Structure 1
Amino acid sequence: MTAVANPATVEECLRMGAGFTQGDRNWIAEQFGPLDARLAAFHADATELEIMVKDREARGQKVTLECWISGREKIVTTSSEEDLHAAIMDVRDDLRRKLNDSKTKQEPRHNRHLREVQLPEADPSEPLI
């Protein structure tokens, strides 16, 4: 596997959406630190994270974390935890799981045959079945 020249990090890719202020950014980025290892496989300029909260600190609040990585489907994680900190941890952990699942689907880890499939060259003199 080749190293990414400009790896994505939470600090570089995270945007604050509705319900959060720039003042919340450092605290949230610190909580999302464990995602850096997972995001490092992607280019920073092709990766975006946005976190938002609806009805912050009210009963029924909903935290949403969206992740866009170029060439992949958008990943959305949500949490309805009443405690904001717990909700943030919930969406972080769910995103990490979904990134791992996405990587496994695109590039199986322990099956070289699936990663490096080479089609046999057709011999024009052989009849097609």
Structure 2
Amino acid sequence: MSAVANPATVEDCLRVGAGFTQGDRNWIAEQFATLDARLAAFHADTTELEVSVKDRAARGQKVTLECWIAGRQKVVTTSLEDDLHAALNDVRDDLRRKLNDAKTKQEPRHNRHLRDNSLPEETELPEALQD
């Protein structure tokens, strides 16, 4: 697998949405920094992250982290944790899990032959196995 020329990082791709201020962005980016290793497989100019919170600091606050990567479906994670730091960790970890799951579905694991080559065309079944 070749390295991406301009890899995505939280610092480059994160924007803060409703409920957060630009002043919150730095400490959120620090908290999300562990996502960098997972995002590095994607180009920075085709990757976006947005974090928002509804009813901040109230019981029942809802933190949402959305991730857009060109050519893929949008990934959305949410947390209802009362503690803001815990909620941010929750959405970060859930996003990492979902990105890993999506990669696993897209690329066969432990089989370089399948990753590097297209699948062979279906072969005909022997006559004995046909109905």
TM over 0.5: yes
TM-score, with normalisation over the residues of structure 1? Answer: 0.89
> What is aligned with 1:38?
38
**CA deviation map 1:81-119 (0-9, x unaligned):** 000000000000000000100111111221234322353
SS in 2 for 1:49: strand
Q: Which runs of 5+ in 1 are unaligned?
A: 121-129
Tell me, in whole angstroms, the C-alpha distance in 1 between the residues paired with 2:7 and 2:32: 16
TM-score, with normalisation over the residues of structure 2? Answer: 0.88
Tell me, in whole angstroms, the C-alpha distance in 2 between the residues paired with 1:100 and 1:118: 22
**CA deviation map 1:16-73 (0-9, x unaligned):** 0000000000000000010000000000000000000000000100000000000111
Tell me, in whole angstroms, the C-alpha distance in 2 between the residues paired with 1:109 and 1:118: 14
Give me the identity figure in percent: 82
> What is aligned with 2:95?
95
Report which of the two has the higher share of helix.
2
* Paired residues, number: 120
Aligned Cα root-mean-square deviation (Å): 1.1
For 1:1-129, list aligned pairs within 5 A. Answer: 1-115=1-115, 116-119=117-120
Q: Which amino acid aligns with 2:4?
A: V
